[in-house]
Amino acid sequence: MTFLKETEPIPTNISPETDVAPNEGISIERIKQQALLRRIRKARELAARMQIAPDGTRVFIRFSPVQRREHQIMLTTFIILAVTGLIQRFSQSTISLILISTLGGADTVRTIHHLTAIAFILVSVYHVWEILVLWVVKRERGSMWPRWQDAKDLFQMVKFNMGLASTRPEFDRFSVEEKLEYLALVWGTVLMIITGLIMWFPITATSILPGDAIPVSRALHGWEAILATLAILTWHMYHVVIKEKNRSIFTGIMTEQEMKHNHPLEYRRILAAHKFLQKIAAEQNNGDKSTPAAEDTYEMVQAIKKAG
């Protein structure tokens, strides 16, 4: 390292045009390499969704263990909240009275509702954290993100069912039916948590909000409870229980048959990812060891082959 002598004047006439080359640090080759790595990473992610079961059949990963746990907590807390909430909403009916008495009285029912709400809020906050990680760290929108295609799918589905279209729409990882379900859940959860907390802490709430917020919250909470419960009973129950018994949220996996039928686009993308990775691995077999990523991929493809 050299130091400027004190007597030597510091140059002031440096021009970016002349002293920094326009393509300095920018190399097409390097960018290509990075893009390839990105595609390989994406392909590996997709390919990992297909696994070989012990009986040799292909299974497709739908939900991670954490996501399955989230759904289990949501399912349990939702049922408890709906029951303990709706019997308060319709407290004047005889069924409510019987249930409330069985559960130990109005105050006990409220305590159960509040404690369950805490669990519900925690699992919702965790989900928000996951979304933030997805958006901020991974810089992906997520496969639940609504697209214009979803609206088209919805209309095509109706048209097909009415006999006005010849084919069913082909769904990707999440169908428009599933996205609507998720949208309703997000909308309902946000609304229920906010209005619930306002009712739970009315004094604190009115230190920020006008007094009207309390009766408004009470109305919203009660109405949304009805809407959410009906939505689960109709939309969700039809699509995952009545139409076909879709257990993937509990088992985490789908069979190849189910996958082809319900998520053909994703199915084809997963297969394409495998093909892509195999091609890269083949190049690597031909002696091309120039990129470390290819080496990684080679090992992975070997592992998949071995498993299959």
In the list 5, 242, 245, 286, the residue contacting another protein (rule: CB under 8 A) is: 242
Nearer to another protein by Cβ, of 61 and 227: the residue is 227
231 binds another protein (CB under 8 A): yes
DSSP state of 104: T
56: left (phi over 0), alpha (psi -120 to 50) or beta: left
> Judged by CB under 8 A, does residue 65 bind another protein?
no
- For residue 18, count CB atoms less than 10 angstroms from its CB and return exposed for 0-12, middle for 13-18, buried for 19 or more: exposed
Residue ranges in 70-129 that form contacts with another protein under rule CB under 8 A: 88, 91-92, 97, 100-101, 105-107
- Cβ at position 108, least distance to another protein in Å: 9
Residue 39 CB, nearest distance to another protein (Å)? 37
Nearer to another protein, 69 or 243 (CB): 243
Alpha helices, DSSP H, located in 133-212: 148-161, 176-200, 202-208
- Residue 4's Cβ-side half-sphere holds a number of Cα atoms within 13 Å equal to 6
List the one residue from 66, 230, 282, 303 that touches another protein (CB under 8 A). Answer: 230
β-bridge partners, 31: none
Q: Which x/- pattern, by CB under 8 A, does the window 127-166 give for another protein?
A: ------------------------------xx-xxxx---
Confirm or reject binding of residue 243 to another protein (CB under 8 A). yes
Place of tokens 């097909």: 160
**Does residue 257 touch another protein according to CB under 8 A?**
no
Select from 265, 304, 306, 285 the least CA-distant residue to 47: 304
**CB closer to another protein, 68 vs 168:** 168
Size, binding site for another protein by CB under 8 A: 42
SS3 readout for 227-245: HHHHHHHHHHHHHHHHCCC
User: Residues 185 to 214: which contact another protein by CB under 8 A?
Assistant: 199, 202-203, 206-207, 209-214
255 binds another protein (CB under 8 A): no
For another protein, the closer CB: 182 or 223? 223
Q: How far is CA 290 from the centre of its chain?
A: 36
- CB nearer to another protein: give 2 or 207: 207
Indicate which single residue of 150, 172, 178, 224 sits in contact with another protein (rule: CB under 8 A). Answer: 224
Of 72 and 93, which has the nearer Cβ to another protein? 93
Please give the structure tokens belonging to residue 188.
Answer: 């309902």
With a CB cutoff of 8 Å and minimum separation 6, the contacts of 291 are 33, 36, 37
Q: Listing from the earlier edge strand, what are the strands of the sheet with 50-52?
A: 50-52, 58-61, 253-255
Chain-centroid distance, C-alpha 116:
23
List contacts with another protein (CB under 8 A). 88, 91-92, 97, 100-101, 105-107, 157-158, 160-163, 199, 202-203, 206-207, 209-216, 218-220, 223-224, 226-227, 230-231, 234-235, 238, 242-243
